[in-house]
Amino acid sequence: MQLVYLSPVGLNTFAQRPHHFVKWFHDRFDANVVWIDPGPSRLPRASDARHLLRLSSPNLGPAWQSEDWVQQVKAKVLPFEPYAWGRSINAQLWKPLLSQLQSCVTADTWFVVGKPCALALEIHHQFPHMPMLLDVMDNLQVFYQGASRKWMARAQQELLEAATCVSTSSTALFDMARANLQPQLRSKVVQVGNACVPSTKFEQFVEAQQKQPIWGFVGAIDQWFDWALIDALSHTLASQNPDAQIHLIGPLNHLPPTPLRSNVKLLPAISQDQVYARLASFSVGLIPFKSCEITDYVDPVKYYEYRAMGLPVLSSAFGEMLQRKQEEGVFFFEKMPQDLQQIVQAHLSEKEAFNFSQSNAWSQRFETFSGAFQGL
């Protein structure tokens, strides 16, 4: 079996749902993978200049990214896909990539689309008999404006209708996908939530309880990050526990509007294989996101990683987190207890954390697809 995977993120980025899916598919079916980076599907923005000025980005990809079974292909495109003339130009630039696929696609090749775009539609057009899974990880259109938003909505709808099966990472995305299909097609939509890599280092977390309290966040700090919540938390911590610190780990794409208190530390992004070692130093895991049209559709991976290490979670009320209001060990900024020590003390036992990580492993999630892949 073989997989052609069109990804919304680069192979050398911090491991996300696409990386975990590809690794599971390879392990499950002993499959070779063609990982396609489709390039930009929206119009350029002024903020892009900041990324272009960076001389280099750290390689945070998984250890297997250079193994023989995975081949990375970057599509040549100009950033004008929302316009018909832009798609026509890009269609000429795709010809070498499509020729390469012609030489490697076989009868047992699956096409998985993690990013709606014109290239995904063209590959489906070129290989109409290749089964296609559309994995809806975000409502991507709400990230964009104007022509870019209209095009993304159109591309996603066309792929939604054409796909052999559709998976969604959250309840809101599941409901949206089904609502956008005719009743007779809705059965092909399944919800496959996010998950975590099982951890075996729980003893580190137990030791961390005796160390300096750290309220930590690991992930991208972007436009949906709520700096006001961090400011309020840092103020309360300073009065209740002067030794406690807030550590924010990840790429900083959204700067704080005001200077941070001395108990808040900004730290660089880390790779997936460093995550649990860093979480072992935390006392509480933070998810301080704004409730907005982007986060309304999100099931945060970090929730699973925090709980897999036994950490209590302090989150804002958004997206899939709203489904966890009654869960022990999950607290919300909107109803934060006056005594913050109540949160710190709500960590899971080693056995509970282990059981959580096993039942919420990526391999368990994706096994939902195994019958479909083998059947077709």
DSSP line for 265-314? EEE----GGGHHHHHTT-SEEEE-B--STTGGG---HHHHHHHHTT--EE
| Residue 56 pLDDT level (bands cut at 50, 70, 90) | low
* C-alpha to C-alpha distances, 333 to 66, 196, 223, 230, nearest whole angstrom: 41, 24, 18, 10
Q: Mind listing the pLDDT tens digit for each residue in 303-328?
A: 999 999 999 999 999 999 999 999 99
Cα(205)–Cα(331) distance, integer angstroms: 19
Cα(136)–Cα(156) distance, integer angstroms: 9
In this model, does residue 207 exceed pLDDT 60? no
In this model, does residue 206 exceed pLDDT 60? no
In this model, does residue 279 exceed pLDDT 80? yes
The CA radius of gyration of the chain, in Å to the nearest whole number, is 21
Supply the pTM of this predicted model: 0.93
pLDDT of res. 32: 97
Cα(289)–Cα(114) distance, integer angstroms: 23
Cα(298)–Cα(293) distance, integer angstroms: 10
Residues 6+ apart with CB under 8 A from 297: 138, 139, 142, 170, 172, 173, 176, 319
Q: Which domains does the chain have, with CATH numbers?
A: 2-195+361-375 (3.40.50.11010), 202-359 (3.40.50.2000)
